[in-house]
Structure 1
Amino acid sequence: MIDLFLYNWQVREDWFVWCESLAEEELFVKRTGGMESLFQNLVHVVDCELLWINHLIQEPVVYAGREEIRTLEDIRAYSEFTKTVTKPVIDGWNGELEDQIVHITGRNGYVRSFTYGKIIRHLISHEIHHIGQLSIWAREIGRKPVSSDLIIRDY
């Protein structure tokens, strides 16, 4: 499971590199589905990782520059910051954490309970889902998407 997490980080970095070759305006073009742009999809993936990891470590970690994310380099910096928060959770992962429960109070006051394992699997599948959207959009603009082939990657 942790391998898939590291795989996602590697693919995310490849998408950052891929996006460097685009005209900046292309990052912000409104598209169908997802978070409606390449830029917002990437920000959303990082936002969700930090949100859910905050629940697992049970302390709010806030990225001071979150409101100033306006460029690809800003997203990369946000991603790197988030990895520093996530990495200790990933590095410390063990069988005991899999079934540990965290209780989360939603905006409506309703409390939901999830296992740590379910949250980690959600983060993995969530990122894969949004990376798939980036791949579709890449093809729509006539570009080859980043390879997401797990079997050939070393992570």
Structure 2
Amino acid sequence: MIDLFKYNWMVREDWFSQCSKLSENELVQERQGGHGSILRTFFHIIDVECSWIQAIHGDVVSEPNYEHYKSLELIRQLSRESQEIVNKHLLKWSPTEEFKTVTVPWSAHTYYYGEVIKHVIVHEIHHMGQLSIWAKDVGLDAVNVNYIGRGIMDGHKGCSKYVL
């Protein structure tokens, strides 16, 4: 499961690099689907990841305000900061926690730890698909989303910066 977080973070970083070719106007332009714009969708992905992980571990959930992150570089920095928070918790993860029950402040439901972790992983993958469609709309190539060839499981090809 941890390797899938590494994968998401690598693909996210690739998207940041690809989207750095776009103007600020293109990044904030309202689009159909996602969370309205490329920048807001990145913000949403990061916010969801960090808030769910903080909540299931009993941390105070940080609630960043999108108005403070209205550039790609600020979103990229928020991503790096949230990865440090998430990383801290994932290092403690064990398969024995898969069916541990957890609650979050924004829901009356009880969830399984493993279900939340998996939700966070696939949530990002879903939105990366939206970015692929939007990239075509603005003339960018989509990012390579292959898991194979990234060296995630063997620690090669730059994966060490995604230490978990």
The answer to which of 57-66 and 6-15 deviates more is 57-66
Q: How does 1:29-40 map to 2 (within 5 A)?
A: 29-40=29-40
Task: Please name the residue that 2:157 is paired with.
Answer: none
Task: Please name the residue that 1:76 is paired with.
Answer: 76
Structure 1: which 5+ runs fail to align?
none
After TM superposition, give the deviation of residue 5 of structure 1 in Å: 1.2
Relative to structure 1, the CA distance from residue 71 to residue 137 in structure 2 (aligned partners, 3 Å threshold; closer, same or farther) is: same
Q: How does 1:78-97 map to 2 (within 5 A)?
A: 78-97=78-97
The structure carrying a bigger helix percent of its residues is: 1
**Is the 1:63–1:78 contact (alpha carbons within 8 Å) kept by the matching residues of 2?**
no
Aligned length: 152
Relative to structure 1, the CA distance from residue 64 to residue 137 in structure 2 (aligned partners, 3 Å threshold; closer, same or farther) is: closer
Q: Please report the TM-score for the alignment, with normalisation by the length of structure 2.
A: 0.86
Q: How does 1:90-109 map to 2 (within 5 A)?
A: 90-106=90-106
Structure 2: which 5+ runs fail to align?
153-164
Task: Spell out, residue by residue over 1:103-137, the C-alpha distance to the aligned partner (whole angstroms, 9 max, x if none).
Answer: 2343xxx6201111000100010000000000000
Moved over 4 A (4+): 63-67
- Which of residues 116, 120, 127 is equivalent to 2:117? 120
Task: Please name the residue that 1:149 is paired with.
Answer: 146
Task: Please name the residue that 2:134 is paired with.
Answer: 137
Task: Spell out, residue by residue over 1:31-88, the C-alpha distance to the aligned partner (whole angstroms, 9 max, x if none).
Answer: 1111111111100000101110121211114266764111111101111111111002
Paired with 2:38 and 2:46, the residues of 1 have a C-alpha distance of 13
